[in-house]
Amino acid sequence: MCTVCGCGDATLVHDHVHTRPDGTTYAHRHEPASEPNAHEHDRHDHDHHHRHDHGTVNYGGGLAGVHVPGMSQERIIRIERDILSKNDSCAADNRRSFAREHIFALNFVSSPGSGKTSLLVRTIMDLRDRVAISVIEGDQQTSNDAERIRATGAPALQINTGKGCHLDAHMVGQAVDTLRPAPRSVLFIENVGNLVCPAAFDLGEAHKVVVLSTTEGEDKPLKYPDMFAAADLMLLNKSDLLSHIDFDVAACMANALRVNPRLQILVVSARTGEGLAAFYAWIDASAARMAAAPR
Amino acid sequence: MHEMALTESIVEIACDEATKQSARRVTRVRLDVGMLSHAEPEALTFCFAAVAAGTKAEGAMLEIERTPGAGWCLDCGKMVALSERFGACPECGKYRVQMTAGDELKIRELEIV
């Protein structure tokens, strides 16, 4: 189809005259395969020979390799598929396998440097006598984070995304196959530090947990609303620094709730342990709710 | 920012569908990308040519239709236009608007040969 005039069948020689919004007119001719790369559009404002190089009207010379007069070679098929449908179906597979094994999976998302890994290390140390925890770490490069987790004795697997800015459900599915978290355990997935992209990719987790730290701005939830809208729990980390900095906790919470009125918020410190008991209670309650949910 | 991954998904779905339909090539891909969605059409177009190279969708035309944003304002009790994700109701200025349209990220149709 010609994108200038919308003409869909260039198999017959015919002419068009078009009127521009400013009243001037121009004409052009459609011809069959004699001229590959399609027809000419004359009388443009510029004087060069206008050729279409988008390759879609390349009758005879390109598309089907053949030219059948009077018959359109192209078929239009309506598919109405969600662009993320591939990821979503992988995520659904992950979610089913987590449910089958009673694995409670959390997807931790935040900007780089909010203290996600420190928070996980602390949580594993505090909970390791009560529950088995394994960790999938996502970073563009290095296995530093997985090594920090392994130092606690918990199994960890590092995914290096290379150029990728987020984990996707397929990567997590493969990581789970390798890591093999124990049935009735907790799986922490630490996403790539990025407040934008991971919001769009469901990994099959029970909940997204967004970590924000007090050294960031109170308006982060407004600047990066998707992530806060996608999360079920927000951990405001580095509360031990609050006495040293000007950070308005109430304003930050109000901003987060504006984007997501259902968001639960806990103020914590991975360094001092402040507020973490409430986080552990949330994990217990959420895991119990998931286990009790009808499947 | 994640348009590269979205584009990979578009090309994969298009090529799978072309194979299913015994088509040799994909010549056109039409998308619905909502005004409030998290994808940038220019970036999708930019990535598409690179990602499609060497696949059945190489050289295919990518057409992107922008669907406008709309939401239900709980305070006004009616549908309102939304120009910004999580934005305020243009009539009452409050933020209790539930997005109902403009979030689409969909492949509408393909042209195959």
Going residue by residue through chain A, which has 295 residues, state the pLDDT in tens, using 9 for 90 and above: 333 333 443 333 445 555 555 555 555 554 444 444 444 444 444 444 444 444 444 444 444 444 445 445 678 888 889 999 999 999 999 999 999 999 999 999 999 999 999 999 999 999 999 999 999 999 999 999 999 999 999 999 999 998 788 999 999 999 999 999 999 999 999 999 999 989 999 999 999 999 999 999 999 999 999 999 999 999 999 999 999 999 999 999 999 999 999 999 999 999 999 999 999 999 999 999 998 887 6
Instruction: Please report the residues numbered 203 through 242 in chain A whose beta carbons come closer than 8 angstroms to any beta carbon of chain B.
Output: 225-226, 229
State the best of A4, A54, A72, A81 to mutate against chain B, taking most chain B CBs within 10 Å.
Answer: A81
Q: Give the span between the Cα atoms of B45 and B64, in whole angstroms.
A: 9
Structure tokens at A42: 């004359």
Best CATH choice for the domain A85-292 from the list 3.40.50.300, 3.20.20.100, 2.60.120.260, 3.30.1490.20: 3.40.50.300
How far does CA A221 lie from the centroid of its chain? 17
A161 and chain B: CB distance < 8 Å anywhere? no
Q: Give the span between the Cα atoms of A55 and A11, in whole angstroms.
A: 16
Quick count: other Cβ atoms within 10 Å of Cβ B55? Answer: 16
* B17 found inside a domain: yes
Question: Which residues neighbour A48 within 8 Å (Cβ) at sequence distance 6 or greater?
Answer: none
Print the domain residue range for B40.
Answer: 3-69+102-112
For residue A278, the SS3 value is helix
What are the phi and psi torsion angles at A268 (to 5°)? -135, 165
Kindly list the distances between the CA atom of residue A256 and the CA atoms of A218, B5, B65, in Å, as whole numbers in the listed order.
Answer: 9, 27, 31
Summarize pLDDT for A199-244 with one digit per residue, the tens. 999 999 999 999 999 999 999 999 999 999 999 999 999 999 999 9
Q: Give the span between the Cα atoms of B64 and A273, in whole angstroms.
A: 49
The reported pLDDT for the residue numbered A72 is 57
Task: For residue B65, give how far its alpha carbon lies from the nearest alpha carbon of chain A (Å).
Answer: 13
Q: Give the span between the Cα atoms of B64 and B46, in whole angstroms.
A: 12
* B21 found inside a domain: yes
Average pLDDT over residues B66-79: 95
Question: Which residues neighbour A13 within 8 Å (Cβ) at sequence distance 6 or greater?
Answer: A29, A30, A31, A32
How far does CA A1 lie from the centroid of its chain? 34
Among the partner-chain residues B13, B23, B38, the one whose CB lies closest to the CB of A200 is: B38
What are the phi and psi torsion angles at B35 (to 5°)? -65, -25
Q: For chain A, first and last CA: distance in Å? A: 49
* 8 Å CB contact of A225 and B38: no
Chain B residue closest to A87 (CA)? B9
Q: For chain B, first and last CA: distance in Å? A: 32
Among the partner-chain residues B59, B85, B112, the one whose CB lies closest to the CB of A75 is: B112
Check: CB of residue A269 under 8 Å from CB of residue A275.
yes
For residue A118, the SS3 value is helix
Task: For residue B58, give how far its alpha carbon lies from the nearest alpha carbon of chain A (Å).
Answer: 9
Establish, for the pair of chains A and B, how many residue pairs have beta carbons separated by less than 8 Å. Answer: 106
A200 and chain B: CB distance < 8 Å anywhere? yes
- Run of H or E including A284: helix A276-292
Task: For residue A56, give how far its alpha carbon lies from the nearest alpha carbon of chain B (Å).
Answer: 6
* B19 found inside a domain: yes
For residue A157, the SS3 value is strand
A254: left (phi over 0), alpha (psi -120 to 50) or beta: alpha
For residue B91, the SS3 value is coil
Tokens 């409050």 locate to: B94
Chain B residues touching A80 at Cβ < 8 A:
106-109
A200: left (phi over 0), alpha (psi -120 to 50) or beta: alpha
- The CATH number of residue B17's host domain is 3.30.2320.50
Least Cα distance to A226 among B25, B108, B84 occurs for: B84
SS3 sequence, B98-113? EEEECCCEEEEEEEEC
Task: For residue A36, give how far its alpha carbon lies from the nearest alpha carbon of chain B (Å).
Answer: 15
Summarize pLDDT for A154-195 with one digit per residue, the tens. 999 999 998 788 999 999 999 999 999 999 999 999 999 999
A281 and chain B: CB distance < 8 Å anywhere? no
For residue B68, the SS3 value is coil
Residue B107: Cβ-neighbour burial (10 angstroms; 0-12, 13-18, 19+): buried
What is the number of structural domains in chain B?
1
Domain boundaries of chain A, sorted by first residue? 1-76, 85-292
For residue A207, the SS3 value is strand
SS3 sequence, A47-69? CCCCCCCCCCCCCCCCCCCCCCC
For residue B10, the SS3 value is helix
* ipTM value: 0.85
